[in-house]
Structure 1
Amino acid sequence: MGKKRSSSLRPVKASKGDPQSEVSSNCYEGERLDHLLVQLTKSIESAKLSKGELPDKMWIKQQFAIGVNDVTRVLERMIQAEADCQSKKEHSNINLRRAPLVPLQAVLLAADCNPRRLTKHIPSLASSMQIPVIFVKDNKRGSLRLGELVMLKTAMAIGIKVKGSIINEAIDELLSSHSPETSLQTHD
């Protein structure tokens, strides 16, 4: 029998730019999380007043990308659209069946979800498009707290779409009031 390799038992060191290593310093938790969620809830409620006759669920779907799959899909389409624009320098109408691309302003991500690999790819996708990621941590209840924002039981990831609404203004204010190294993650 061969010798067992002990190298697989050694911990892997995170690189300096690794989003996973920065989660602990970029999390909103405690009073800071409460303040963030209250501010976002107020902006959502005030934006709902101007929605017209559109049902709540449809309006929320227009304002947010909800869930890991939806956020990933929007981020990947943003990357693909940017690559297409750079290579062709013009907009092509090849895929007419797809909904028009609405870019994301920021991504809210539950940092304490289990298993972690479900959301592991989102920070790197967001950083490639220079979209800030706001980590939410609340003693294994981060996804519950995010779900309350969009009237669902849980949501591990919420992407805020750029729509020029009161919600976007609240996020702009939040992003400009906090420095990147203390609360938000952005990569160049």
Structure 2
Amino acid sequence: MPTRNKAAKNSILDGSVPQQKDCYDGERLVHMLKSIRRGIESARILGGNSLPEKIWLKQQFSVGVNDVTRVLERMAPSAEKGSSAQSPCVRLQAILLAADCNPKWLTKHLPTLASSRKVPLITVKDDGKGSLRLGELVRLKTAIAIGVKARENAINQIMEEILDGDEVNQGAS
């Protein structure tokens, strides 16, 4: 599987082929979520700011289908990379999408929109509890979609490892 992820990432960088969406479930999902949680804790500690947690989390993540869609729409499509007139303030590194969204049409547009912006999409499946698992990351009851903002911090380093298909360090907390 790591080979497919690296190939997908390379195609994102060179703009040739839209990336495949990856699906995390079971033990793989547990490890990914623990790694992201550790990244959140590290970024929060190392950031050294005194913002309330919910405000700080909003700076790191785009939470919810509407917010993720809004950020993606403000990003220039990959074909318009050279266009500096519409350079976004915020770029998404990746999108985590719960597979248990009902009705499905709420998120039907996200894979196409993410692909046009060359943003990797990771589907989270957990026997109908994917949205609960994503909500835990951002201290909410549920979250159908979470966009990871590119901020060059510990969260982004963890996401880079996940996107590369590397085994994320599961040892230290």
- Report the counterpart of residue 124 of structure 1 in structure 2: 112
Gaps of 5+ in 1: 1-16, 94-99, 179-188
Aligned length: 149
Q: Deviations over 1:61-119 (max 9, x none)?
A: 00000000000000000037975x75xx55379xxxxxx62100000000121111111
Question: Contact conserved, 2:18 with 2:115, CA < 8 A, in 1?
Answer: no
- Report the counterpart of residue 45 of structure 1 in structure 2: 41
Q: Deviations over 1:20-78 (max 9, x none)?
A: xx76xx32111011011001001101111133111111110000000000000000000
- Report the counterpart of residue 110 of structure 1 in structure 2: 98
- Report the counterpart of residue 4 of structure 1 in structure 2: none
TM-score, structure 2 as length reference: 0.78
User: Any runs of at least 4 consecutive aligned residues in structure 1 with deviations exceeding 4 A, and if so which?
Assistant: 80-83
- Report the counterpart of residue 31 of structure 1 in structure 2: 27
- Report the counterpart of residue 73 of structure 2 in structure 1: 76
User: Which structure would you say has the larger RCO, counting Cα contacts within 8 Å and 6 or more residues apart?
Assistant: 2
- Report the counterpart of residue 162 of structure 1 in structure 2: 150
TM-score, structure 1 as length reference: 0.72
Q: Deviations over 1:139-184 (max 9, x none)?
A: 1110000000000000000000000110000001111126xxxxxx
The 1:105–1:92 alpha-carbon spacing in structure 2 relative to 1, beyond 3 Å, is closer
The 1:53–1:141 alpha-carbon spacing in structure 2 relative to 1, beyond 3 Å, is same
Report the alpha carbon displacement of residue 18 of structure 1 after superposing the two structures with TM. Answer: 10
Question: Contact conserved, 2:61 with 2:149, CA < 8 A, in 1?
Answer: yes
- Report the counterpart of residue 60 of structure 1 in structure 2: 57
Report % sequence identity: 54
**What amino acid is the match of 2:118?**
Q
C-alpha RMSD of the superposition? 2.5
Question: Contact conserved, 2:98 with 2:145, CA < 8 A, in 1?
Answer: yes
Gaps of 5+ in 2: 1-16, 167-173
Distance 1:81 1:175 in 2: 18
Distance 2:37 2:133 in 1: 11
The 1:82–1:56 alpha-carbon spacing in structure 2 relative to 1, beyond 3 Å, is farther
Distance 1:77 1:92 in 2: 8
- Report the counterpart of residue 160 of structure 2 in structure 1: 172
Larger radius of gyration: 1
